[in-house]
Chain A
């Protein structure tokens, strides 16, 4: 009976120590008498408890490594505070366990020193504007360095680049000055353009005016020409008529005009003085009824 109890105890303890459940996302290394023997993948495994033991439980998931903030002096002597974040994944649990002591710390220091190296060779403007390039460069170096440890570095991202307070102020000032300069230039350009436009408008107006005057003069001359032509025509026609007919016919016309004119003068208001051309008297004489009209006109007043 005692033997059986001992046997049961052995089996129970053996199962407790020998059955290993590895959960997904990690792998265990097994050492036999201290020497690495095999790796347990996720699932149920049996090891021989007396001679085997679990060496390390390696996390196979991608992990985030926070790189603490550090001061870096740039090439143009600006002291900036930089922190970063690094993503890595163990791809070879054996190497990650046995090739390197304190993987986490080793990687942290590696990333930190490389950030210093890479950023220390740049000037500040470059640092602030070329993050992608910086990330890629650091990643290349760190990935190469961690290769013997069975680690794949997937990403290194610079989180914050903080220049000192007074530098930030200076940058803001520079920015402001830049904007101001642009605004002033724009304003000056605007006023220049407006003046040019105005002058051009004036020029156009003057040209148009001159053109108008010229046109008007031309037309006027044309009108006078036409008038003269008409006069000449009329004269010609009249002289033709005279040549063909009697002088009396002209007299008739002239008399008619006189009478009309006199009538108009007579009937107009405020007419005190009646001016008669001298040669008209003969005409008046020859025209019957004009005197009467005159009388009538004077009698009215």
Chain B
């Protein structure tokens, strides 16, 4: 109880910095938000003087912990919306192949066939086409590429 109620502004600042240091060592961005919140509380107390009683201090700390995460998420979402081309194809084989043109290794019959991609073969779905036809990848679903006749 004493610990919760007897905190000075510099306690908060030190706690914030300490949490940030710990964040560097620990994996996963978790302590970062508490660190930011603690620094905010410390700064508020420093500028407003000794007006915040301990309950408020902790309340602000909790609120800012959550808010800082939400703000970060808002930023990254907005960024993704503005730059959809940055949507990465790393670790997503199918996505990396979209827009490429390949040759059919087997004819597409009943909507399913095979195309040679690099040194391996992918299952493709699309309109029925004879073997050797060039096809363009327009989408993917799991390990199956959706193709259309390349023109």
| Chain A residues at the B interface, C-beta cutoff of 8 Å | 1, 4-5, 7-8, 11-12, 15-16, 19-21, 24-25, 27, 42-44, 46, 60-61, 89, 91-92, 95, 139-140, 143-144, 146-147, 150-152, 154-155
Contact = CB atoms under 8 A, between A and B. Distances in A.
B121 A24 contact: no
Contacts of A144: 123
Nearest to A45: B73
A140 B142 CA distance: 17
A16 B142 contact: no
B91 A15 contact: no
Contacts of B90: 24
B144 interface: yes
Given A25-B91, A91-B93, A147-B143, A152 B66 contact: no
A60 B91 CA distance: 6
A91 B65 contact: no
Contacts of B93: 89, 91, 152
A44 B62 contact: no
A19 B62 contact: no
Interface string B12-54: 0000000000000001111001100000000000000000001
Nearest to A88: B143
B44 to A, nearest CB: 16
B10 interface: no
B29 A44 contact: yes
Contacts, number: 86
Contacts of A15: 30, 33-34, 65-66, 69
24 contacts: A1-B1, A1-B5, A1-B55, A4-B58, A7-B59, A8-B62, A11-B62, A15-B66, A15-B69, A19-B30, A19-B69, A21-B30, A44-B29, A44-B72, A44-B76, A46-B69, A60-B91, A89-B93, A91-B94, A139-B121, A143-B121, A147-B123, A147-B142, A152-B93
B120 interface: yes
Given A11-B62, A44-B76, A46-B69, 9 more contacts: A1-B5, A4-B58, A21-B30, A25-B91, A27-B91, A91-B93, A91-B140, A92-B141, A143-B121
Contacts of A12: 34, 65
A143 B73 contact: no
B55 A4 contact: yes
B77 to A, nearest CB: 11
B9 interface: no
Contacts of A46: 69, 73
Interface in B56-95: 58-59, 61-62, 65-66, 69, 72-73, 76, 90-94
A188 to B, nearest CB: 47
Nearest to B70: A46
By DSSP majority rule, is chain A's interface helix, strand, loop, or mixed? mixed
B122 interface: yes
A5 B4 contact: yes
Contact of A16 (B30, B61, B66, B119): B30
A46 B66 CA distance: 10
Contacts of B28: 19-21
Nearest to B117: A154
A95 B142 contact: yes
Contacts of A143: 121, 123, 143
Contacts of A1: 1, 4-5, 54-55
Contacts of A146: 143
A44 B73 contact: yes
A140 B73 CA distance: 43
B142 A92 contact: yes
Contacts of B92: 60, 91
Nearest to A14: B66
A283 B58 CA distance: 173
Contact of B59 (A4, A16, A42, A139): A4
B79 to A, nearest CB: 11
A8 B61 contact: yes
Contact of A19 (B5, B29, B140): B29
Give 7 nearest A-B pairs by CB, closest first.
Answer: A92-B142, A60-B91, A152-B143, A11-B62, A21-B28, A150-B142, A154-B120
